[in-house]
Amino acid sequence: MEVKLIEIKEQERKVLENLFSYYIYDMTEYIKWSPNNEGKFSYDSSQFDVYWEREDHIPYFIYVDAELAGFALVRRYPSDLSTYDIEQFFVLRKFKGQGVGKEALAQVATVFTGKWQIRVLLENSGALYFWKSAVSRIVGDKFRVTKANDVDLLMFFIHFESNGY
């Protein structure tokens, strides 16, 4: 199984927007969003504009053996530009539990070395377990988990430093 990250071109943005609906669906377990009257999870797609307007925001598709498997949205964290941040990360259920997400994170952390953080909803214990496991694959036990506010939401923050691998 080959996992590849491919930077998303602006003309491929609609594919990201389509996948994002599945991400929102997965997150409803924790955030309790509801679909609109048309049965769609609506969101403001202008949130993605920055990924083609600023160099410190990089969108990736995750592929497994040439099949679209998810996305990773990487940025410099707005309140600390010295830190890389996974703004959003999604792997289709079909590919979960196969190491796809861990390999995707490892590839991103190899490209962007330095200080990193990953934010996790307090309610999402499965994601916290996954991210701690994925980060430990890169840095061993050299990471820390804190709780802090991300804007107005208390979240777990996983902090680590990547030197490539």
Number of domains comprising the chain: 1
3-state secondary structure of 3: strand
Q: Which long-range contacts (CB under 8 A, 24 or more apart) does 41-44 make?
A: none
Domain housing 131:
3-162
Lowest mean pLDDT among 24-28, 96-100, 101-105, 135-139: 24-28
Question: Residue 106 pLDDT > 80, yes or no?
Answer: yes
Residue 59's CATH number: 3.40.630.30
The per-residue pLDDT for 42 is: 81
